Structure 1
Amino acid sequence: MPGLAPRRAAVHLLHAVTVLGRPLDGQLDRHLAGLSPSDRALARALTGGVLRHMPGLDSLIDSACAKPLPADARARQVLRVALAGRLLLDTPPHAAIATALPLVEGGPRRLVHGVLSTLFREGAELPPPSLPPIWAERWGNAWGEAEVAAAAHRLAGVPPTDLALKDAGRTAEWAEKLGAVSLMPGHLRLPGSQAVEALPGFDTGDWWVQDIAAGLPARLLGPVGGLEVLDLCAAPGGKTLQLAAAGARVTALDLSASRLKRLRANLQRTGLDAQVVEADALIWEPGRRFDAILLDAPCSATGTFRRHPDLLYLKADLDLGRLVALQSALMRQAARWLKPGGRLVYAVCSLEPAEGEGASPPAGLQADPVGLSELPPGLSPAGNTVRTLPSLWGEAGGADGFFIARYRAGA
Structure 2
Amino acid sequence: MQAVRIAGAGSTPFGVSSERTGRDLFGEAARIAIDDSGVPRADIDRLCYGNFVGTVTERQGHQGPLMAAAAGVTAPATRYESACASGGVALKSAAEAVRSGAVDVVLVGGMERMHNVTTERATEGLAMAADDLYESRAGVTFPGAYALMARAYFAEFGGTRADLAAVAVKNHRNALGNETAQFQREISPTDVLEAPTVADPLGLYDACPITDGASACVLVSESYAAAHDLNAPVEITGAGQGTDSLALQQRESLTRTPATTRAATTAYDEAEITPADIDLLEVHDCFTIAEVLALEGLRLYDPGAAIDAAAAGETTADGDLPVNLSGGLKAKGHPVGATGVSQVVELTKLLRGDHVNSDAVPDATVALAHNAGGTVASATVHVLEVCA
Q: Would the TM-score normalized by the shorter structure come out above 0.5?
A: no
Which structure has greater helix proportion? 1
Which structure has the bigger radius of gyration?
A: 1
Which gives a bigger RCO, structure 1 or 2 (Cα 8 Å, sep 6+)? 2
The alignment's TM-score, normalised by the length of structure 2, stands at 0.26
The alignment's TM-score, normalised by the length of structure 1, stands at 0.25
